[in-house]
Amino acid sequence: MLINDIRQSARTRTKELTLQRWLIKGNWSGFFACKGIIELGQSVLRTGSAFHQSALIHLATNSVHFYWSDTDGRESELLQLQCDDCSYVIASEVPLTIDHLAICPSASAIQTRATICRVVLQHLNSFPNCVTWLRAHGRSSLSEVMSSLFPLSVTATPEEVILYLPRCMIGGFTVGESTQASKMLRFHSLTDGHSALDQLRFKCLHFLFTHYQSLKPIRVA
Ligand SMILES: [Zn+2]
């Protein structure tokens, strides 16, 4: 028996089935298959721009580090950006995926994570109610900032732990996590808090997509 609104129940079931289909892909393109990324997609469809939609497709399908090799417009090959530092250390190719970027010890990756952290802090700094939280976390690292805003459950599986920072880096925090963060950041209403955190999603999405595009060779038309 359906107790809740039938449309709400249908929407919830559709979401579950979509997630299941994505999860059973079982390859690299399903890496980001989780509730947070589905809800990020819903935010983008609701209020994001065409640029955000394009960025979401590349990021959520874990394909943002792929590019076409052609520079003369005749022959092309699909390649992946590599992490030069780690490839050199282990003498083997290390694709510069987002999950690698989240943990890579190279100076360039550390700088990229620090820039994402600055994007988050500067965004929250535009809301006066965030001042108390910023006083405590304004000098923290990206993983510390994300852990404070969107704490990972103590019951999280190893897969959820691995996925955690990469999904937060692209703005894939869940509505539930946004609700908790809104309360902690002392927004006057959940509507204000969700709006501010949706804007934060878009800034993370925009930064990472633009960053990856800047690393790729320019294609000849
Ligand atoms: Zn690396």
Is residue 38 situated within a structural domain?
A: yes
Is residue 182 situated within a structural domain?
A: yes
90 Cα: distance to centroid of ligand 1 (angstroms):
10
81 Cα: distance to centroid of ligand 1 (angstroms):
11
The beta strands (E) that lie in the chain are given as: 66-68, 78-80
| Predicted TM-score of the model (pTM) | 0.84
Is residue 156 situated within a structural domain?
A: yes
Rounded CA separation 134/122 (Å): 10
Residue 29 is given by DSSP the state G
Is residue 15 situated within a structural domain?
A: no
> What one-character-per-residue DSSP string does 125-170 give?
TTSGGGHHHHHHHTT--HHHHHHHHSPPPTT--HHHHHHHHHHHHT
Q: What is the pLDDT along the chain (221 residues), one digit of tens a residue?
A: 445 566 666 666 665 665 555 555 556 778 888 899 999 999 999 999 999 999 999 999 999 999 988 766 667 788 999 999 999 988 889 999 999 999 999 999 999 999 999 999 999 999 999 999 999 998 899 999 999 999 998 999 998 999 999 999 999 999 999 999 999 999 999 999 999 999 999 999 999 999 999 999 876 65
Give the range of the structural domain holding residue 142, as residue numbers without chain letter: 33-69+94-215
Is residue 115 situated within a structural domain?
A: yes
82 Cα: distance to centroid of ligand 1 (angstroms):
8
161 Cα: distance to centroid of ligand 1 (angstroms):
19
Is residue 84 situated within a structural domain?
A: no
Rounded CA separation 158/162 (Å): 6
Is residue 110 situated within a structural domain?
A: yes
Is residue 221 situated within a structural domain?
A: no
51 Cα: distance to centroid of ligand 1 (angstroms):
28
Number of domains in the chain: 1
